[in-house]
């Protein structure tokens, strides 16, 4: 049987995904959270796991470098990747929100400045509302932007709400809920349908 390649996101969600993989009955002897290795195989070599940056998982899957990816909906949406999303793993739950200082008065009501790590998601949201915006693309610590006048508001992930609270910011509007999803390369879904479906079913049973 042909091998399937599974791209997993490094970082926060990796721990939960690894324990879920263990529950599928597939064992990856060298796979541990502490390991710096990036490629792992299960015992019969039918599954190859590669660890990549979360933002890159949709790219690996869209290009066919991986058949399957497990990654947050945030990265899937932002990537605009053309892939099948087939399963919600219901872990890594959080949401996208618009946030800012509760009493903020934008200096230009025509065009709001939005700081975000997720320009595509922010653009889509404000376009739907008919609100023109200017994006300030940041790569982290986005909550600083409204505090120091770099932006009117932010579009970012809210999980516990602690980062917002500790910086005196509030959620002004929720955009969409996020969780970890399984995505599949469109060609692999046809050419390796047996392996792909078998893996998805194993995962579904592990999730029960």
Residues that bind ligand PRP (CB under 6 A): 140-143, 156-163
Q: How far is the CB of 160 from ligand PRP (least distance, A)?
A: 3
Burial class of residue 17 in the structure, from the number of CB atoms within 10 Å of its CB (0-12 exposed, 13-18 middle, 19+ buried): buried
Q: How far is the CB of 87 from ligand PRP (least distance, A)?
A: 24
- Of 115 and 196, the one with the shorter C-beta distance to ligand PRP is 115
- Of 157 and 196, the one with the shorter C-beta distance to ligand PRP is 157
Range list of β-strands (E), the chain: 4-9, 39-41, 47-52, 68-72, 84-88, 94-100, 112-116, 133-137, 153-158, 170-178, 180-184
Furthest-apart CA atoms within the chain: distance in Å: 62
Q: How far is the CB of 164 from ligand PRP (least distance, A)?
A: 6
- Of 152 and 156, the one with the shorter C-beta distance to ligand PRP is 156
Q: How far is the CB of 62 from ligand PRP (least distance, A)?
A: 23
3-state secondary structure of 6: strand
- Of 141 and 177, the one with the shorter C-beta distance to ligand PRP is 141
């Amino acid at each position: 049987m042909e091998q399937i390649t599974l791209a997993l996101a490094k970082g926060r969600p990796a721990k939960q995904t690894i324990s879920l993989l263990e529950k599928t009955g597939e064992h990856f002897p060298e796979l541990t959270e502490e390991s710096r290795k990036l490629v792992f195989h299960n015992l019969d070599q039918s599954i190859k796991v590669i660890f990549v940056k979360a933002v890159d998982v949709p790219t690996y899957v869209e290009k066919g470098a991986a058949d399957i990816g497990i990654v947050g909906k945030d990265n899937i949406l932002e990537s605009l990747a053309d892939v099948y999303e087939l399963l919600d793993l219901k872990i890594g739950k959080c949401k996208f929100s618009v946030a800012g200082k509760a009493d903020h008065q934008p200096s230009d009501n025509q065009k709001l400045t939005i700081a975000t790590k997720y320009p595509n998601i922010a653009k889509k949201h404000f376009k739907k509302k008919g609100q023109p915006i200017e994006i300030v693309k940041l790569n982290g610590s986005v909550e600083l932007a409204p505090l120091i006048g770099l932006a009117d508001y932010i579009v970012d992930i809210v999980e516990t709400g602690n980062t917002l609270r500790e910086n005196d910011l509030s959620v002004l509007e929720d955009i969409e809920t996020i969780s970890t999803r399984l995505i599949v390369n469109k060609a692999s879904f046809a050419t390796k349908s047996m392996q792909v479906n078998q893996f998805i079913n194993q995962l579904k049973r592990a999730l029960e």
